[in-house]
């Protein structure tokens, strides 16, 4: 919902902010990452999941290898300079075609990033065998980004449920032993400064022998909270100079996401990985249609991307 109490009157008009100032827009200036949402089904229900993934939410249905391949063809047709293909969910390894989709992208020379909780769906024998084969064939072109919401078991399990931390560590230990490249995604909602948070992750990685650099934001990504009820400013065209930022630095300048809605005849391309249910961020069915500018007309645009400086890519 955009019209929360905190932001009443804001984020309504794609061209103007609430006070009538021209809203900032972002062109697709350098497409580097194409994301695929593999489906919203997940093996767990988190307390604050921005996409509301759960064992019962199939609002976004499973993507297929054939559909992914079609968009890989479109990348070549449109001559997009894509370097990375990302897969998110839900839990991607619940999708029975996840390994095939990853191989389809790796075969074409792209880096592949899979966001996962590293729990039971990933630990099935068929998936493990597939991941071993991909790592053997493509090495560090394949990266799994593991969701570790906090370096402490208590806080992580507060978000993801009792026992989640232990099961995720078991999955990470398997990936470590299989020689599969890992990074981590955490959150900054725990009231600690970034230095303390990164030190906590560093200690966790050292304890378990994980080759992940906690001080590197590309390897240990700490995402700000995505709370639409929090008061945030709208981003105007003047903000770029005020903030010393460029539209090119915002995620929608370099990425798009493909989803398939339940009951839809074909997938759709969205401007943002964070807004799968906002109809104004759906750009069309093809990459050609998705080349148009994006108006920063949502609280996430301000807090997460422009002010938070976050990016979902590697």
Average confidence score pLDDT of the chain: 93
The confidence score (pLDDT) of residue 101 equals: 98
- What pLDDT, in 10s, does the model give residues 66-104? 999 999 999 999 999 999 999 999 999 999 999 999 999
313 belongs to a structural domain: no
The confidence score (pLDDT) of residue 297 equals: 92
267 belongs to a structural domain: yes
The confidence score (pLDDT) of residue 232 equals: 85
**Residue 164 above 80 pLDDT?**
yes
14 belongs to a structural domain: no
Please tell me the total count of domains within the chain: 1
11 belongs to a structural domain: no
pTM of the complete model: 0.93
12 belongs to a structural domain: no
**Residue 208 above 50 pLDDT?**
yes
The confidence score (pLDDT) of residue 2 equals: 42
Higher pLDDT, 59 or 314: 59
The confidence score (pLDDT) of residue 5 equals: 46
299 belongs to a structural domain: yes
**Residue 6 above 60 pLDDT?**
no
**Separation of alpha carbons 129 and 112, rounded Å:** 17
- Portion of the chain with pLDDT greater than 90, in percent: 83
5 belongs to a structural domain: no
Which range of residues forms the domain containing residue 69?
25-306
CATH of the domain at 164: 3.20.20.70
Query: Quick one: average pLDDT of 284-299?
Result: 96
7 belongs to a structural domain: no
């Amino acid at each position: 919902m955009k019209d929360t109490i905190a932001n009443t009157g804001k984020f309504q008009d794609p061209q103007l902010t609430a006070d009538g100032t021209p809203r900032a827009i972002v062109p697709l200036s350098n497409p580097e990452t194409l994301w695929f949402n593999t489906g919203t089904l997940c093996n767990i229900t988190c307390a604050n999941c921005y996409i509301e993934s759960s064992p019962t939410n199939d609002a976004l249905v499973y993507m297929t290898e054939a559909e992914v391949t079609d968009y890989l063809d479109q990348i070549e047709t449109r001559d997009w300079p894509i370097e990375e293909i990302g897969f998110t969910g839900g839990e991607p390894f619940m999708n029975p075609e996840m390994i095939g989709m990853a191989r389809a992208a790796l075969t074409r020379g792209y880096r592949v990033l899979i966001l996962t909780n590293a729990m039971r769906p990933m630990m099935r024998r068929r998936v493990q065998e597939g991941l071993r084969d991909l790592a053997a064939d493509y090495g560090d072109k394949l990266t799994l980004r593991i969701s570790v919401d906090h370096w402490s078991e208590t806080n992580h399990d507060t978000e993801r449920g009792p026992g989640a931390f232990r099961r995720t560590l078991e999955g990470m230990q398997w990936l470590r032993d299989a020689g599969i490249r890992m990074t981590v995604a955490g959150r900054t909602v725990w009231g600690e400064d970034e230095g303390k948070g990164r030190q906590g992750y560093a200690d966790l990685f050292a304890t378990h022998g994980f080759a992940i650099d906690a001080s590197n934001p590309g390897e240990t990504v700490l995402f700000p909270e995505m709370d639409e009820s929090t008061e945030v400013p709208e981003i105007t065209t003047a903000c770029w100079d005020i903030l010393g930022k460029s539209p090119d630095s915002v995620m929608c300048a370099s990425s798009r996401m493909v989803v398939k809605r339940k009951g839809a005849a074909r997938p759709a391309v969205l401007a943002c990985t964070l807004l799968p249910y906002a109809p104004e961020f759906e750009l069309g069915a093809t990459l050609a249609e998705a080349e148009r500018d994006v108006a920063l007309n949502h609280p996430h645009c301000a807090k997460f991307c422009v002010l938070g400086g976050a990016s979902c890519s590697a």
